[in-house]
Structure 1
């Protein structure tokens, strides 16, 4: 009971608004506070409870809070939640956020126990507003090019993570924010979320893969229309055109897409982790090569000598749930 109360408080602290009893109960298992959660060398402790069993988190302007990473435990072990937390800047992509996200991606990439990643926002009503143009305006001309290259490299690295990545879009995802979501394998949005590659309004073009990824997701002609017109669509429209896999009705706590993403991550979690990684690699390579490509076949053969494959066969024979270890 103490764990449930504590975790309810953590979520309230993240969202800076009251969470209904039903939503709090659903989220309690997600943000388990039975131990510290580690991001690189930093330990992020759970928030303390007040005498009434609740806390209100005032968003900090401290740059160390720009990104919050949670490695879930218990039955959700293997799920990593990466939460962007720049409320005053609408989660805009800054130099510090890029640095912190690079660290988080590197940690995830080298951790074989990670099975899926949820990228979300901890700021109600916003996913990511794109580049931090206020910070950009203060940069020396010589700094702009290297920063843009690093931001582009970050989104590429996000797309290259070996495990499934899910973008939970509960608010506006514009410009580089949508490009970040497009780099994820699956996108889930609330019906009220807003999405668009709006760079042409500023006389520039999407520079972090949007011109390549959006056409592959929704088709060339429609992608051109959205980019040329700098059009913004809502979650329902995004689902109709295939930009997001699911569009869910937003709830009172503003985290409906996150909750649906968590459900999906829990569906993925019990499956063979090596098989999932190889399936992602095979799919990503497969859209670039012919069906009978030898490189595609080589990926498929990598799962044959694994212990997990033998466990799967044994579990099927014994009519029980398999227990995969990623070996």
Structure 2
């Protein structure tokens, strides 16, 4: 059962969860409460085997997440700064490591912590009005929620360093060009498109999807030999599942598979 949150709206439609960060007056800025609630929502979703995909978006038309809350950060000392960074990284790691795919539906500004949050998701769909960037350098700090690590892994070191060192804000087209987003859609179609992708994923084998996500997330941090060994292990494990039997039987019988995640 999903509880009520102060800074999030969480709705489950059939087997898809939609998380909306709901601080529109503050452009959905990430403060301690938002980060704690995101972590809690991730834990609740992870424990619910009926949910097969997640969509993460922001409320209002202006921002997905415009960044971390500067009012809260301004007077932090060294220890408090590290604690805030650790809190954000723990929350984003929970999202990144959910067994099911997470789709970021980026409806506006995704800056600083907002851009970092999109990068913790598996798939990024951008509105044509979306803007991305890591402008922390202009505040005398640096990315603290994984941006210095996930951005180079997504777009390569050279482009990542340019974005990180200049604090430049880029539009959706540039984000697509460098591989930061998967596709761009009209703002009015953003959630529709995200839900289509989520529904497609939800129709597939939950175990197959989960094991594939694990293979990609863990394998990209290994050398190729160990990564392939991980794939071999996960691939073989799926042959003990009912999903594998159902999927292959359905294919041979020319019918739609009915996967149960077993």
- 1:298 is matched with 233
How far residue 243 of structure 1 moved from its aligned partner, in angstroms, is 0.7
Structure 2 runs not aligned, ≥5 long: none
Deviations 1:149-188 (A, max 9, x none): 1112111211111111110001000001100000101101
Asked whether the 8 Å contact 2:219–2:230 carries over to 1, the reply is no
Verify: 1:315 aligned to 2:216, yes or no: no
- 1:240 is matched with 177
Asked whether the 8 Å contact 2:39–2:92 carries over to 1, the reply is no
Secondary structure, in 3 states, of the residue corresponding to 2:20?
strand
Instruction: Select 2:209's aligned residue among 273, 276, 284.
Output: 276
Asked whether the 8 Å contact 2:73–2:81 carries over to 1, the reply is yes
Instruction: Select 2:199's aligned residue among 251, 254, 266.
Output: 266
How far residue 116 of structure 1 moved from its aligned partner, in angstroms, is 0.8
Deviations 1:207-240 (A, max 9, x none): 1111111111111101111111101111111111
Query: Residues 213 and 142 from structure 1, CA distance in 2 versus in 1: closer, same or farther, beyond 3 angstroms?
Result: closer
Secondary structure, in 3 states, of the residue corresponding to 2:163?
helix
How far residue 82 of structure 1 moved from its aligned partner, in angstroms, is 0.6
Deviating 4+ runs (over 6 angstroms): none
Secondary structure, in 3 states, of the residue corresponding to 1:302?
helix
Query: Residues 139 and 225 from structure 1, CA distance in 2 versus in 1: closer, same or farther, beyond 3 angstroms?
Result: closer
Asked whether the 8 Å contact 1:66–1:97 carries over to 2, the reply is yes
Verify: 1:70 aligned to 2:11, yes or no: yes
Asked whether the 8 Å contact 1:169–1:258 carries over to 2, the reply is no
Verify: 1:199 aligned to 2:140, yes or no: no
Deviations 1:269-321 (A, max 9, x none): 11011000001111122212344432332122121110011111221122110
- 1:119 is matched with 56
Query: Residues 80 and 183 from structure 1, CA distance in 2 versus in 1: closer, same or farther, beyond 3 angstroms?
Result: same
- 1:85 is matched with 22
For 2:24 and 2:157, the matched residues in 1 are separated by 34
For 2:246 and 2:81, the matched residues in 1 are separated by 52
Q: Which one has a bigger Cα radius of gyration?
A: 1
Could you say which structure has the higher helix fraction? 2
Instruction: Select 1:102's aligned residue among 39, 48, 55.
Output: 39
Asked whether the 8 Å contact 2:103–2:123 carries over to 1, the reply is yes
Asked whether the 8 Å contact 2:110–2:133 carries over to 1, the reply is yes
For 2:158 and 2:78, the matched residues in 1 are separated by 35
- 1:39 is matched with 2
Greater relative CO (CA pairs within 8 A, separation 6+): 2
For 1:153 and 1:65, the matched residues in 2 are separated by 20
How far residue 139 of structure 1 moved from its aligned partner, in angstroms, is 5.5
How far residue 103 of structure 1 moved from its aligned partner, in angstroms, is 1.0
For 2:11 and 2:147, the matched residues in 1 are separated by 27
- 1:47 is matched with none
